[in-house]
């Protein structure tokens, strides 16, 4: 058995991990849901969200076996974080010199197949993995690998939201402190987008590109460099019952919901694509080079993430998704996404509908 090395930036990595205050915390449904999706998408019997501590691997969520932690020296995830920009895939652990005599391979749970997507903090440090594994050797198809990577990013979105919620709770005893924290958070959002705001292409409240910027990006997204139609999906999303939030919670709270959703959309599409504020409580997401099924799945992840925002009251979204068709204009694609959104609202809201 080859024990995993420790990254050269191990001290910084551990410091980043401890900032999330998540080790040894209770199980949470938002993590369990993402693990269940990963297990189903990849077709394995086991999956987990793991975090790598000094000498142990701790499981925030585990499905398929009953365990809370094991030794870092015996963990496959300890190897996975050494190459944080890649998914580590072990098709048959018995044929891998690093793991053929590892206790988790030779004994329970008799791991043969493993795939781990590193969890990367906002400052680029690997904290652990979202991993799937099985007692049978197998391969990981490209689309499944991409879905696993997308899910690992959603795990980090939930961790960031969780950390922010803990910060808010810590200051809730004093109203002035709570308002100060929100003000500081808002100032950070504004500072991060100051350059774009100066060009009048950024929505000042959410920090997202505005409708003017979207128009140019939409045309670029549906037409490739050679002038041919590009496989691009467009999603139009709307906050459910937003008028009720403004009417009963106040416009300041409504603005906070928009700002939180804007931050979530930026994180969700940071790896590829673009999110923009379309107007009012409507937003548009562009997903270049994505087929309709991939786009639908990504929107489902987004819908779940919105329902877990730490706002103190429930917020949901409805989404309509359309794939750009050869010969149609970008406005026509957007119109079909709008029609799908209308069906999602008519079918009860808090759902994703796909344009035929």
Q: Which residues are catalytic?
A: 281
Nearest to 113, CA basis, from 96, 126, 130: 96
| Rounded-to-integer distance, Cα 83 and Cα 170, Å | 35
| Whole-number Å distance between alpha carbons of 40 and 14 | 31
φ, ψ at 97 (rounded to 5°): -60, -25
Give the 3-state DSSP-derived string for the chain, with helices as H, strands as E and coil as C: CCCCCCCCCHHHHHHHHHHCCCCCCCCCHHHHHHHHHHHHHHCCCEEEEEEECCCEEEEEEEECCCCCEEEHHHCCHHHHCCCCCCCEEECCHHHCCCCCCCHHHHCCCCCCEEEEEEEECCCCCEEEEEEEEECCCCCCCHHHHHHHHHHHHHHHHHHHHHHHHHHHHHHCCCHHHHHHHHHHHHHHHHHHCHHHHHCCCECCCCCCECHHHHHHHHHHHHECCCCCECCEEEEEEEECCHHHHHHHHCHHHHHHHHHHHHHHHHHHCCCCCEEEEEECCEEEEEEECCCHHHHHHHHHHHHHHHHCCCCCCCCCEEEEEEECCCCCCHHHHHHHHHHHHHHHHHCCCCCEEECC
């Amino acid at each position: 058995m080859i024990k995993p090395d420790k990254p050269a930036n191990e001290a910084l990595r551990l410091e980043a991990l401890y900032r999330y205050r998540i080790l040894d915390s209770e199980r949470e449904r938002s993590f369990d849901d993402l693990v269940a999706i990963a297990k189903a998408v990849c077709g394995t019997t086991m999956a987990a969200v793991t975090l790598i501590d000094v000498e142990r691997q701790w499981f925030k969520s585990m499905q398929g076996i009953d365990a809370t932690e094991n030794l870092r020296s015996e963990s496959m995830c300890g190897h996975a974080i050494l190459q944080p920009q890649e998914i580590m895939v072990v098709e048959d652990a018995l044929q891998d010199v690093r793991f053929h005599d590892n206790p988790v391979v030779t004994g329970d749970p008799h791991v043969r197949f493993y795939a781990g997507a590193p969890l990367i903090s906002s400052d680029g440090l690997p904290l652990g993995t979202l991993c799937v594994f099985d007692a049978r050797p197998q391969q990981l198809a490209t689309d499944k690998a991409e879905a696993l990577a997308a899910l690992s990013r959603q795990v980090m979105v939930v961790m960031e939201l969780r950390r922010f919620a803990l910060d808010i709770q810590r200051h809730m005893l004093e109203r002035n402190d709570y308002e100060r924290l929100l003000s500081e958070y808002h100032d950070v959002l504004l500072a991060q987008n100051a350059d774009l705001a100066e060009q009048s292409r950024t929505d000042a409240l959410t920090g997202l590109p505005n409708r003017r910027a979207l128009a140019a990006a939409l045309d670029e997204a549906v037409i490739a460099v050679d002038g041919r139609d590009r496989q691009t999906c467009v999603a139009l999303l709307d906050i459910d019952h937003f008028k009720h939030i403004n009417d009963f919670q106040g416009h300041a709270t409504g603005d906070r919901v928009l700002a939180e959703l804007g931050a979530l959309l930026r994180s969700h599409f940071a790896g590829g694509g673009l999110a923009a504020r379309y107007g009012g409580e409507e937003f548009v997401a562009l997903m270049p080079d994505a087929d309709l099924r991939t786009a639908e799945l990504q929107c489902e992840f987004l819908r779940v993430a919105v329902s877990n925002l730490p706002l103190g009251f429930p917020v949901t979204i409805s989404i309509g998704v359309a794939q750009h068709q050869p010969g149609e204009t970008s406005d026509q694609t957007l119109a079909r996404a709008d029609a799908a959104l209308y069906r999602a609202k008519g079918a009860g809201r808090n759902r994703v509908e796909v344009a035929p």
